Amino acid sequence: MRVSDLVSQAILDLLNRQNGSAEIRRNELAETLGCVPSQINYVITSRFTPEHGYVVESRRGGGGYIRITRVRVDRSTAVMHLVNSVGDAMDYPTARAIIGNLKEQQFIAPQTAAVILAAMSDRCYAGLPASARDGLRAALLKQMLLHTL
């Protein structure tokens, strides 16, 4: 298992034990896991984002911490937020994060997530000019979200 996967799993374990909200001291977690503090930063900025369903707050200084909160919303609020946040263009990694979050929160079934992810894949847009791919992906995702949720 990669270090980033270990860090991510440790943070998820903390969130699960503390009802979806955890305060992390970066240096202490890095020492516990045997990695450098910058690895903690990398994992938080890449895996604990709003697209993944998390809010991250930080406080610097000697008593500083990073607070991560798992956002739980009802189905209609999630749909409204997602459709509004998709925008006019979307790359595949962002679409994958959104679909993964919907699946994790059990708003969509794993089979539905797989179908939507297949439709978001770069392979589906290979015949299009690069400038049109992300726009079509965003429009298609919006429609799929509206009709699926």
130 backbone φψ class: left, alpha, beta (φ>0; ψ -120 to 50):
alpha
Q: In the numeric block, which tokens belong to residue 118?
A: 């297949």
Model confidence at 54, pLDDT cuts 50, 70, 90, reads: confident
The CA distance from 117 to 119, in Å, is 5
> pLDDT at position 117, please?
94
Contact (CB, 8 A) for 16 and 52: no
Work out the average pLDDT over 60-79.
Answer: 76
Q: Are 4 and 40 in contact (CB under 8 A)?
A: no
Q: What is the pLDDT of residues 18-43, one digit of tens each?
A: 888 888 888 888 888 888 888 888 88
pLDDT exceeds 70 at position 52 = yes
* Residue 62: predicted pLDDT: 63
61: left (phi over 0), alpha (psi -120 to 50) or beta: left
Q: Which has more pLDDT, 39 or 86?
A: 39
Confidence (pTM)? 0.56
The region that residue 37 occupies, defined by phi over 0 for left and psi between -120 and 50 for alpha, beta otherwise, is alpha
HSE-CB at 36 with a 13 A cutoff on CA atoms is: 3
Mean pLDDT across 97-112: 86
| 26 vs 73: CA distance, rounded Å | 28
Query: Do 98 and 51 touch, CB atoms closer than 8 A?
Result: yes
Say whether pLDDT at 65 is over 90.
Answer: no
DSSP state letter for 59: E
Residues paired with residue 23 on neighbouring β-strands, in sequence order: 67
